[in-house]
Amino acid sequence: MKFRKSSKEEPISAPQDQGSILCEGLIFKDGNLTGDGKITINCHFVGDIKISDTVYIGEAGCILGNIEAKSIIITGEVKGNIEAVNNVVIRTGGILNGNIKCSSLEISSGAAFSGECNMTASKKENSMLYNMSKNEVAKEAPRPENAKEAVKVQNAMQAAQAHVAKK
Same domain, 142 and 75: no
Same domain, 112 and 143: no
Q: Is residue 71 part of a domain?
A: yes
3-class state of residue 105 by DSSP: strand
Q: How far apart are CA 152 and CA 144, in angstroms?
A: 9
Same domain, 91 and 129: no
What is the pTM for the complete model shown? 0.63
The total of structural domains in the chain comes to 2
Q: Is residue 87 part of a domain?
A: yes
Same domain, 32 and 104: yes
* Residue 157, CA distances (Å) to 56, 121, 128, 133, 151 in order: 41, 21, 16, 8, 10
pLDDT of residue 27: 79
Greater model confidence, 159 or 117 = 117
Q: How far apart are CA 88 and CA 108, in angstroms?
A: 11
* Residue 90, CA distances (Å) to 96, 114, 142 in order: 8, 12, 50
pLDDT of residue 147: 59
Residue 45 binned pLDDT confidence (cut-offs 50, 70, 90): very high
- The yes-or-no verdict on residue 162 having pLDDT over 60 is yes
- The yes-or-no verdict on residue 157 having pLDDT over 70 is no
What does the angle CA 95 – CA 65 – CA 61 come to, to the nearest 5 degrees?
Answer: 45
Q: Which domain holds residue 138?
A: 123-166
Same domain, 31 and 90: yes
Same domain, 149 and 101: no
Same domain, 115 and 51: yes
Same domain, 82 and 109: yes
Same domain, 115 and 127: no
User: Number of C-alpha atoms within 13 angstroms, CB side, residue 16?
Assistant: 0
- The yes-or-no verdict on residue 19 having pLDDT over 60 is yes
pLDDT one-digit tens code per residue, 72-89 = 999 999 999 999 999 999
Residue 46 binned pLDDT confidence (cut-offs 50, 70, 90): very high
Contact (CB, 8 A) for 136 and 119: no
Same domain, 32 and 112: yes
Q: Is residue 47 part of a domain?
A: yes
